Structure 1
Amino acid sequence: MSPTTTTVKRERRKEARPGELLDAALSIFVAKGFAATRVEEVAARAGVSKGTLFLYFPSKEELFKAVVRENIAGRFPEWNDELTQFEGDSFSLLAYVMHAWWQRIGMTEASGITKLVMSEAGQFPEIAGFYQQEVIEPSHALLKRILQRGIDRGELRPLNMEYAVYSLIAPMIFLLTWKHAMAPCCPPSQTIDPLGFIDTQVDLLFNGMRAQPAADAPSSPSST
């Protein structure tokens, strides 16, 4: 093997390390939580030294932030572009968004990040603050865009946006909790089909939010 070939292989290995470290960190953070994760274990899983890990990520907190950005926060531009380009009605959009979220996040290891933050927020408020800014706030903004689009098109009735977004988030939080807490010990008779659950939630949500023709709208108590 020539010196040039050896140099190229080393360069490729060096370039691959950040991604390998993030993959290893995601698996260990989800399995053990933030407090119990040791950077030495992450480095060993990725096949590098602890010193190499610190070249890319100066602390465990920065490593965790990079994991969140890689797997969730960094994808919001892509998801907002998809919303802009979507041409279907509000029912189709809600179904698409919730299915896509489950397939891209819920079915992956990244689904454990939310559970980690929820369980360790009190112990690590800086992690909770980061997650609030990088994930929760953009999520709410995206969901508000979806709801406002439906209202503007006359497909949804006017809603309190600050609270309506939680109606979309709550079913997904339930699925995450079920997946990481209850599913491993549930008998087969109590297994939940995530996509079937999502479809039912979309139907319930959409028909509760659907705009009604004036003639069919229920009269207010003051008019009776």
Structure 2
Amino acid sequence: MNSTETHPPHKRERRKEARPGELLDAALDLFVEKGFAATRSEEVAARAGVCKGTLFLYFPSKEELFKAVVRENMVRHQTEGAEEIARFEGPTAALLQYLMLEWWRRYGATKASGISKLVMSEASNFPDLARFFQEEVVTPGHAMIRSVLQRGIERGEFRPVDMDLTVHSVLAPLLFLVTWKHSMAPCCPSSQQIDPETFIRHHTELLVRGLSV
């Protein structure tokens, strides 16, 4: 046999490579189910099928584990969104609707959207994590929406507006959707359910009418 021939990784090696992702998946499940304060590190380890010591080899504290979950499930999508904005060539109204719909499909419609509700309900008890979330999620997200609005103004498609207030006007209904999803939606009859994508299209239509020159 050729000594330079490569072999597929051993099963234990493959398991080790996959372990950080398995820990993040387990942590996401528990954070969304129980909240940050109520989730214990040993529960995360048990759900991932490892011991607590193994968890701390990858993530030295529950706080660092939470940050990794946020970066994997939120920050990554924002980076993708910023790249798509730079490449987009169509009207700004279409770009705005596309971004809002993709935000829902990639984040809002997934289990990870429970992170937003968790932060809103627990941030005041964990100021360091609130500061982290503000710096790595909220501020870049606002900057991304601001860049879309500025694009529309510079192209003569949107009228000049108060940027801060308009950014909040864009994002507030999206936060409503994820809050609804993780609170009242499971309890409401089908006749009172909200179709998120229909809601987002309606919202962007109203926004664009108000923004258009």
**TM-score normalised per structure 1:** 0.90
Q: What aligned pairs does 1:155-194 form with structure 2 within 5 A after superposition? A: 155-194=157-196
How much has 1:73 moved relative to structure 2?
Answer: 1.2
Q: What aligned pairs does 1:87-106 form with structure 2 within 5 A after superposition? A: 87-106=89-108
Deviations 1:136-172 (A, max 9, x none): 0000010000000000110000011121100110110
In the alignment, structure 1 residue 79 sits paired with structure 2 residue 77: no
How much has 1:76 moved relative to structure 2?
Answer: 2.5
| Partner-residue secondary structure (3-state), 1:201 | helix
Structure 1 CA distance for aligned equivalents of residues 113 and 79 of structure 2? 19
Equivalent residue number for residue 26 of structure 1: 28
> Gaps (5+ residues) in structure 2?
1-5
Which of residues 112, 115, 135 is equivalent to 2:117?
Answer: 115
How much has 1:77 moved relative to structure 2?
Answer: 2.4
Deviations 1:63-120 (A, max 9, x none): 0000000111133322111000111111111110010000000000110001000000
Equivalent residue number for residue 197 of structure 1: 199
Equivalent residue number for residue 56 of structure 1: 58
How much has 1:5 moved relative to structure 2?
Answer: 8.1
| Partner-residue secondary structure (3-state), 1:158 | coil
Which of residues 13, 16, 31 is equivalent to 2:15?
Answer: 13
Q: CA RMSD in A?
A: 1.4
**TM-score normalised per structure 2:** 0.95
Structure 1 CA distance for aligned equivalents of residues 187 and 202 of structure 2? 24
Structure 2 CA distance for aligned equivalents of residues 5 and 201 of structure 1? 54
Structure 1 CA distance for aligned equivalents of residues 168 and 9 of structure 2? 52
Aligned residues: 208
How much has 1:12 moved relative to structure 2?
Answer: 1.0
Counterpart residue type for residue 95 of structure 2: L
Structure 2 CA distance for aligned equivalents of residues 171 and 6 of structure 1? 48
Runs of 4+ more than 4 Å apart: 4-7
Counterpart residue type for residue 13 of structure 1: R
How much has 1:7 moved relative to structure 2?
Answer: 7.2
For the pair shown, which has the larger CA radius of gyration, 1 or 2? 1
Distance change in 2, residues 1:204/1:33 (3 Å): same
Does the CA contact (< 8 Å) of 2:77 and 2:106 recur in 1?
A: no
| Partner-residue secondary structure (3-state), 2:96 | helix
